[in-house]
Structure 1
Amino acid sequence: MERSRIAFDHWIHKHHFTFRDTRGRNLNVQCNLCLPKINILSTARDSTSNLKKHLERKHSVACRRRIRDEPSVEAPSSDGPSSYESSVLENQMAESSSEAKEAKIERSTIDPTTIYHQTSQSWLNSLVFNFIVEDVQPISILEQPGFRKMIEALSRGNKVMCRNAFITRLEVASNKMKGELKDKLDKVQTLCTTADVWSVQDRSYFGMTCHWLEDNLERKSAALACTRIPISYTCETIIAKIQEIHSSYNIESKVQATVTDNGNNFVKAFKEFCPEDDQEVEQSRFEDLGSILCDGEMGGDFFLSYFLPPHQRCASQTLNLIASKDLAEAVLKGQAGKLHSSATEKCAAIWHKAQSSTEAADAIESIAKINFTDPCSNQWSSEYYAINKLMSLTDSQLNELFEALGVPHFTPDETAYLTEYTDVFKPVAFALDLLHGEEKCFLGIVIPTLLTLKRKLEEKAANTRLFSKVIDSTVKAIDSRFKQVFESSDARLATATMPQFRLWWLPEDERESLRAQLITEVLQVDQGTEETETNGGSVHEDEFFSYGPGSSGNKSGKREAAEQVWLYLQGTNKDLKCLNEFPGVKKVFIKFNTTLPSSAPVQELFSNGSNIVTPKGHHLSDEHFERVLLLRYNSKITTALE
């Protein structure tokens, strides 16, 4: 059999065919270029001319040049050219008049199957690599027999990359991604970062993301780190990581604020290591510089304090804390506390049944046409929406549901209580959703959201039967927990530069003061731009002096800034695009609204990581684990995965 296949085995175009079997003096082969169509061809044992003719007729564009120059495997005839050579000559004459046209076609419509075969292994490696990174799959999948068998069968015998090949490719892609990200951040003037700590499988990770606004006011985001830290981390560990990450991307001076949750370690860290300018005068003291430099620990803390940006607590997490703690405690202490406990216990029985039994879930779907999920214990809004779903059902649907699940029915008082509860606290749930956003959510939306929430709750208080004291407690909690935001100059300027709000949210007697601050900021950002543009260049004498008509001195600049702010504040267009008409105000908007009101993006980074960190499937080192997460998160703004 080996002798009978000797012509086919030594043929230069053998790779275009797959041997199937022998039939007498002939061989049966399958054309790989015809795939996905199965095309079985027959050829003589000692000749490949039949297969060459097939390539001529069906795949001439892809194979013409190599076939044209190839000698026949058959013994040459002394009488003249072989039939194959004659066929080639005829084809050359027929095609000579349209050579240029066919060359163009060859470049644009070359057989994709040929491309696939020529680059199949490298293409397969890219597909498998992107699959693991984009879908956050554990690297151990490369060693699973079923996965390897499936890929090798679909790729017609190509091999799945090994673990070491994946790691090498991961390092190359990660370095490319970080280089591109640094280049992007070098061009950004202002950005904010979000930070949090995530603990899983007896490990702790420190995560950080950064966010900025483009000139078209589109928000861009990137992941900076998800690095391993000790399980018993301290506020000093957090400060060191923040400084280290900011420094590694050269963004220390660009960070407008770092957004975190209300965790004690973060609050303590920023409180103890805040910049010197934020310390009260009576806390200031002089230190001997020599002793500071000699004292390693104090010297480290001394210099770290100069790299910390302002701290912004997550607004959505703070409001969730108000709802799940202050509001909940006020409800339980109120006149309807027992009613609340009994009603929510019956709700919890329904949620538990829906989660633990497929039959119960099917019954709920059949009766109520809705799906129930067990509310997250630390997310007040998830419980609120679950109760709201139940209260959207009719009495007959509720009764049928209780009967089908075998849980106690609501009493009339409990039904009335839950109906009023969902109506009164609907604004709280809406505000939480609003502050949890990212792309369209800015720091300037926080104060108007809180003021509107307080007003709507106070309006509800006049008509509620059970929750007037609860509303009072909730409003006081908003004033107390958000006191820093209400008094923040950054948050107020961020709100004033949003066309949706301008100064309309402020009392009349406070508007003039904020308008003056806005003029000052517009003047400063314009001067900063001019200094950047003229930095290092020669200054003309007329530009040095600022006297006389036509001068560009400070008074003229201030008049222009005041006029621009006045025109902006008189406008009524609420679309962000209107800021293009007021370039100075737009720069102030970007400066202060770059800060996010929520630390939700870093939570998204952690949720991606949970797919990799599993008891059985995680065999990545901490460094490689971080690289996979960052590549996946940053795939939209870098080309490392292309």
Structure 2
Amino acid sequence: MATVAASTSTPAQSISTFFHAPLATNSARSKAITEAIAFFICKDIQPYSVVENEGFQYLLHILEPRYHIPNRKLFTDKEIPLLYEKVRHEIAKSLSNAKRVAITVDGWTSRATDSYVTVTAHYIDEEWVLQNHVLQTRPFNEAHTGNNLGLLLKDVCCTWNIADKNPALVTDNAKNMLLAGVRAEINPHVRCIAHTLNLASQKSLKVDRVSELLVKVRKITTFFHRSPQATEVLREMQAQLHMPNHKLIHDVPTRWNSSLDMLERFWEQQPAVLNTLLSRKIKRGEGLASLTEEDMTLIPEVIKLMSPLKVATTLLSEEKHPTISMISPIQAKLQKHFQPDESDLLEISVMKERFRQDFDGRYTYLQDLLYYAAVLDPRFKDLAFLEDHGTKDMVFTKLTAEVVMMEEEVRIYSINRS
């Protein structure tokens, strides 16, 4: 029987091998799959070791049993460098056709505490589509001085042949970044409006009474995050009170809007939270401070004051559309919103003052350019956000004169060419 089984299994194995012959590594199909894997690794920021993962190998075997996955060395030594050069060439070609380019630069630290700097280019292509490309992400072990960052920006502009395109620069408000723009001789240098709002909002939230309130809410949130028992009782209370089953949100020190998110969620859930804290089923920590009546009065007022800032930040967090035209309208809206009011609580009045002190005057050096950008945006072209008619007339006059001058330059250029 063993002999018969062996003899009958041979043809089946031959047929299987015949119909699933391995793809040649130089075949078009095999090359396309290998290139697709390289693209997947880069696009989704996957580790090279993904090609050795059992699940990934099983997926590819189901999709194409004849394909043999190369080892990771092929991707590190050949495929990824080839893909990089291909993409780099395409970006360089596209950049060469751009009339103007804006670049952004920012420093960051990895989880391994390595320091990096990323430079991104933004421009309108020949089809009038906004393009965004990361030109460089490189280790930056030198001191993050304005001089060193300025030299880096010059090097990037030279490497990508965009120095003659009169690039604009966008950075945060850090002093070293402001000095970097001067050192690199890049003008205009626009300070990131989202970062500006973050700084002014942080100053506003540091008012003593408000800061103390955030500490109390933060401790309560931390208590629920660390206590499974308290979380379970909270779910029961939410069900009894017919409230949404939402978890409390913990804020992040570097993001002001996360503090607002924390307050909003606490205020939404405060009936269930307060009832849970009074329950005998849980054991409260000694450091958990009780909220006073004044605290409960202040929370909705803080939310009301800061909510427009959250909306503005969301509007400005765009990648596919320019945002410079929104800076002046947002300025005007917030300056009006943060004007003092006799009905304000004392803490709200101080918050408004702190915000205005930090926010007002941030863009005075660039105000005309921001007005021009707003005029050229169909949403704001009538400058309805400006109450000073004299300023409106001046902006329209200056911009009209500039357009006439540009038309004259184009006319002279056309005559000379003919």
* TM superposition score normalised by structure 1: 0.55
Structure 2 matches for 1:12-91, cutoff 5 A?
22=6, 24=8, 27-29=11-13
Amino acid of the structure 1 residue aligned with 2:88: K
Alpha carbons of 1:122 and 1:356: their partners in 2 closer, same or farther (altered >3 Å)? Answer: farther
Residues 194 and 258 in structure 1, CA contact (< 8 A), matched pair in contact too: yes
1:392 aligned counterpart, secondary structure:
helix
The equivalent of 2:247 in structure 1 is 371
Which residue number corresponds to residue 400 of structure 2?
519
Once the two structures are superposed, the pairs formed by residues 453-492 of structure 1 within 5 Å of their partners are 453-458=334-339, 461-466=341-346, 467-485=348-366, 488-492=367-371
SS where residue 524 of structure 1 aligns? helix
The one-letter code of the counterpart of 1:388 is E
Q: Which amino acid is 1:321 matched to?
A: L
State yes or no: 1:347 paired with 2:207: no
SS of structure 1 residue aligned to 2:11:
strand
Alignment length, in residue pairs? 396
Query: Conserved in 2, the CA contact under 8 Å of 1:324 and 1:380?
Result: yes
Preserved contact between residue 434 and residue 441 of structure 1 (Cα < 8 Å): no
Q: 1:316 Cα deviation (Å)?
A: 1.0
Query: What is aligned with 1:318?
Result: 196
Among 179, 204, 207, the alignment partner of 2:89 is 179
Query: Aligned partners of 1:365, 1:531: CA distance in 2, in Å?
Result: 74
Q: How does 1:233-312 map to 2 (within 5 A)?
A: 233-271=144-182, 273=183, 305=185, 308-312=186-190
Q: Distance in 2 between matches of 1:526 and 1:434?
A: 34
Please name the residue that 2:241 is paired with: none
Match of 1:42 in 2: none
Q: Matches of 1:223 and 1:230 in 2, distance apart?
A: 20
2:78 counterpart letter in structure 1: T
Percent identity for Structure 1 against Structure 2: 18
Question: Could you tell me which residue of structure 2 aligns to residue 102 of structure 1?
Answer: none
How far is 1:494 from its partner?
Answer: 0.8
TM superposition shift of 1:517: 0.8
Aligned residues of 1:190 and 1:254 also touching (Cα < 8 A): yes
Q: Of 123, 131, 155, which residue of structure 2 is paired with 1:220? A: 131
- Kept in 1, the 8 Å contact 2:230–2:276? The answer is no
Name the CA distance, whole Å, in 2 between partners of 1:429 and 1:493.
Answer: 25
Q: How much has 1:239 moved relative to structure 2?
A: 1.2
Q: What residue in structure 2 maps to residue 562 of structure 1?
A: none
Which residue number corresponds to residue 399 of structure 1?
274
Q: 1:25 to 1:186 in 2, by over 3 A?
A: closer
Which ranges in structure 1 are unaligned for 5 or more consecutive residues?
5-20, 34-50, 56-112, 274-303, 539-642
Q: Which runs of 5+ in 2 are unaligned?
A: 239-243
Matches of 1:371 and 1:436 in 2, distance apart?
Answer: 25
- Give the distance between the partners of 1:362 and 1:424, measured in 2 at CA: 33
**Other-structure match for 2:379:** 500
Query: Residue type matched to 2:191 in 1?
Result: R
Inter-partner Cα distance in structure 2 for 1:197 and 1:258: 15
Greater relative contact order (CA < 8 Å, ≥ 6 in sequence): 1
**Relative to 1, partners in 2 of residues 1:532 and 1:498: Cα closer, same or farther, differing over 3 Å?**
same
8 A contact 1:197–1:205 mirrored in 2: yes
Q: 2:36, 2:359 → 1: CA distance?
A: 50
* Contact 2:108–2:116 (Cα < 8 Å) also in 1: yes
* Amino acid across the alignment from 2:330: T
How far has the Cα of 1:258 moved from its partner?
Answer: 0.6
Is 1:436 the counterpart of 2:308? The answer is no
Matches of residues 577-592 of structure 1 in structure 2 within 5 Å?
A: none
Q: Does 1:448 pair with 2:329?
A: yes
CA distance in 2, matches of 1:377, 1:214: 38
Distance in 2 between residues matched to 1:354 and 1:120, nearest whole Å: 54
Larger Rg: 1
Aligned AA (1:190): R
Aligned to 1:196: 106
CA drift at 1:533: 4.9
CA distance in 2, matches of 1:371, 1:218: 40
The root-mean-square deviation of aligned C-alpha atoms, in Å, is 3.4
Normalised TM-score (structure 2): 0.82
Q: Which amino acid aligns with 2:378?
A: P
